Copies of this chain bind each other. A is one copy, B any other.
């Protein structure tokens, strides 16, 4: 069994070759660019780990891992256009270098290339892998659309927000593990447990992310604290405060979002603390982490094989940066 770090190194070596044809360079250089500006490669490594939980890593898992990383980058290219984001991982986004039109196409060919990698797997298991991949791809787009729809709405319920996060973030983590486990020959029951492990872990991860944006240590977090608050983003914290705070707290929050005073971040954080949002968020995160761990427990393989996944789970949701 190999650790996340060990598999990450191998994936980086495997994936560092150019993934696209040379010409037309005006298109494919744009696609290749985003693959080269870093990224944690969490999803492709989860695919490899999903395979190795059940069997030695097969060639097919490498094709699948590449397909997943390409898919993820396709969605980043297009999301960055929609969000008008100037930077990604501290570097200029594809559309801000190459223009929106080429970025749309660069995303399109990155998605097609993902299918091209996927098509290389053993034909005997191609169809079930393709089905899960397609289902997940649709869900990720649905999540992005819901996120955009929520921006235009006054209120979003807790359940709606969880569903959006599940689609936009969790299902790809879950599918990465499950696709790997299918290649590793896991039983249907085991593939379902690993999927649920990833799905719950993904939600716990997002709770942590929302928490850090409000309560993280700026020195460690690496980005401006309170960014979500400044942008009036509906996060786990804000939705909880608007649903469970006192009527006065709710009114104050609505007022702050409307008027955008200079001290909005401090004032919102003070309300969050008074309403117990920080403690609630930690509890919520632990609930999802607990559910994830139960599903990991339920997978019928020797406990020792699960260590790397346990370690990854702890790392992902207990990070303070």
Write the residues of chain A forming the contact surface with B, with a CB cutoff of 8 angstroms.
21, 23-24, 26-27, 78, 81-82, 100-102, 104-105, 107-109, 111-113, 115-116, 119, 123-124, 126-127, 130-131, 134, 137-138, 141-142, 144-146, 148-149
The reply to whether B24 and A78 contact each other, CB–CB distance below 8 Å, is no
**CB-CB under 8 A for A105 and B141, given A115-B115, A115-B134:** yes
A107 to chain B, nearest CB (A): 8
Docked Cα-Cα span, A115 to B115, in Å, equals: 9
Other 19 A-B pairs with CB < 8 A, given A105-B141, A108-B141, A109-B142: A21-B138, A27-B141, A27-B145, A78-B108, A81-B101, A81-B104, A100-B100, A101-B148, A104-B104, A104-B107, A105-B144, A108-B111, A113-B134, A113-B138, A115-B115, A116-B131, A119-B130, A123-B123, A126-B127
The reply to whether A145 and B113 contact each other, CB–CB distance below 8 Å, is no
A interface, over-half SS:
helix
A209 to chain B, nearest CB (A): 22
Docked Cα-Cα span, A81 to B145, in Å, equals: 18
Can you list 15 A-B contacts with CB-CB less than 8 angstroms, sorted by A residue number?
Answer: A23-B142, A24-B149, A26-B149, A78-B105, A78-B108, A81-B101, A102-B148, A105-B141, A107-B108, A112-B134, A113-B138, A115-B130, A116-B131, A119-B131, A123-B127
